[in-house]
Amino acid sequence: MLSRPHLRIAAFSTAVIASVAFSGSALAQKKYDTGATDTEIKIGNIMPYSGPASAYGVIGKTEEAYFKMVNDNGGIKGRKINFISYDDGYSPPKAVEQVRKLVESDEVLVVFNPLGTPSNTAIQKYLNSKKVPQLFVATGATKWNDPKNFPWTIGWQPSYQSEARIYAKYLLKEKPDGKVAILYQNDDFGKDYLKGLKDGLGAKASMIIAEESYETTEPTIDNHIVKLKSTGADVFLNIATPKFAAQAIKKVHEVDWKPLHIVTNVSASVGGVMKPAGLEASQGVLSAAYAKDGADPQWSSDADFKKWIAFVDKYMPGADKNDGSIVFGYGVAQTLVKTLEMCGDDLTRANVMKQAASLKDFTPDTLLPGVKINTSATDFAPISQLQMMRFKGEKWDLFGDIISGDLSN
């Protein structure tokens, strides 16, 4: 294989090569790993700014804006956050390349909130072998809570399984004699929910009388709904991504089936699911939430949420407040800042990981009142509480207590 040397040199010159020593220097009390100094903390991130999942790119932009706000207010104990975010286009090979660039070339302290189950799976082994924290990943898969095998990887949002267990708890309480019919998407997302539900129902898993799976390639899922209705079930679990969830809500209404109907948090968007399905068809549908809704007027007088509104107005002018990604990005960025504050002057990778696993009753501004972030050396699932909600009129009404998705409670 042959090449033009000068072309290669030109290409390499774009890669920034920093010269920071690898081991932490032994200054009095202050301890640093690569990526942290007296004046700066380098945070790495990968996001799909392009490609099929580029809608999530807003999360990265929100985080960047949040850290700008933190820096404007003096940084973390005088240290400014240097947020380096690269595009992985939702492609696992690109994710590996970009993360290696962050760790080996930019020399970041941690890789924070990388998005997507495939991308995170691709980089997990590498980051764990390099002992670089893979902090607060942006995916709902359950496998991130595995401190024994992957002590450098920690999740953030509630896992699909914990959410499903909350529905199971609700059903056991409200409809212990119910006959449950389930429609689920035939992939890791659908199967995670199914497992969570069965675990949650435990001995009463026999309540499930029908399971139907669908492929995302199917144009419509109408026939599944008709089939599920014919089983005589009076509870319907709609484990589908937004497009199919909307189709299901509509069809259930059309065939005049009136079960207790639950949709997942993934498909609880008013604009993306409930309105397209038809507001009339959506009345009374149940779901669960852990964060406040930017479009819901009830939070506009909430003291904590006012901070979020002020942040969006000042640092992201013109952004769409209905976009759940801004609420998400703000909450997770605030969790990182809290973790770094807890680290004090010991900014080593091991200590960052230790502090991330020592969050006690932490409440970012954007989480529902009562939902708290708790982690420990054996619990790497920061958020595991949600609150049930019912669709009424044109919005979700929260009801009942905050429920934990942990199996033990």
Partner 1 sequence: MSAVQETVTQAPALDAVPKRAITLSLGTSLAVLVLLLAFPLFVKNFIIFQMTTVLIYAIAVLALNILTGGSGQFSLGQSAFYALGAYTSAILIEHADMNYALTLPIAGLICFVAGFLFGLPALRLSGVYLALATFALATAMPQLLKLGFIEHWTGGVQGLVVTKPDAPFGLPISQDVWLYYFTLAISIAIYVAAVNLLKSRSGRALMAIRDNEIAASAMGVDVAMYKTLAFGVSAGITGIAGGLGAIAVQFVAPDSYTIQLAIALFLGMVVGGVGWLPGSIVGAAFIVFVPNIAEGISKGLSGAVFGVLLFIVIFLVPHGARQVALVAQSLIGKIRRN
34, 45, 62, 85: which one binds partner 1 (CB under 8 A):
85
188/212 with CB nearer partner 1: 188
Interface with partner 1, residue 404, by CB under 8 A:
no
Contact characters 273-302, partner 1, x per CB under 8 A:
------------------------------
Contact characters 32-51, partner 1, x per CB under 8 A:
-----------------xxx
Q: Which residue is it, tokens 């020593």?
A: 21
Q: Which of residues 206-225 bind partner 1 (CB under 8 A)?
A: 217
77, 125, 131, 360: which one binds partner 1 (CB under 8 A):
125
Its sign, for the CA torsion 200, 202, 206, 211, is positive
Whether 67 contacts 43, CB under 8 Å: yes
47/403 with CB nearer partner 1: 47
Per CB under 8 A, which region of 118-126, 158-166, 173-181, 348-356 contacts partner 1?
A: 118-126
Beta bridge mates, 367: 291
20, 69, 96, 350: which one binds partner 1 (CB under 8 A):
96
118/272 with CB nearer partner 1: 118
DSSP letters for 342-393: HHTTEE-HHHHHHHHTT--SB--TTBPTT--B--BTTB--S--EEEEEEEET
- With residues binned 3-state (H G I as helix, E B as strand, rest as coil), the percentages for the chain, rounded to 5, are 45, 20, 35
One-letter identity of residue 121: T
Q: At what angle do helices 303-315 and 324-343 cross, to 10 degrees?
A: 100
Per CB under 8 A, which region of 183-191, 271-279, 309-317, 343-351 contacts partner 1?
A: 183-191
DSSP state of 107: -
Other C-beta atoms closer than 10 Å to the C-beta of 319 total 17
Give the interface with partner 1 as residue ranges (CB under 8 A). Answer: 1-5, 7-8, 11-12, 14-15, 17, 49-52, 85-87, 89-93, 96-97, 100-101, 103-105, 117-118, 121-122, 124-126, 186-188, 217
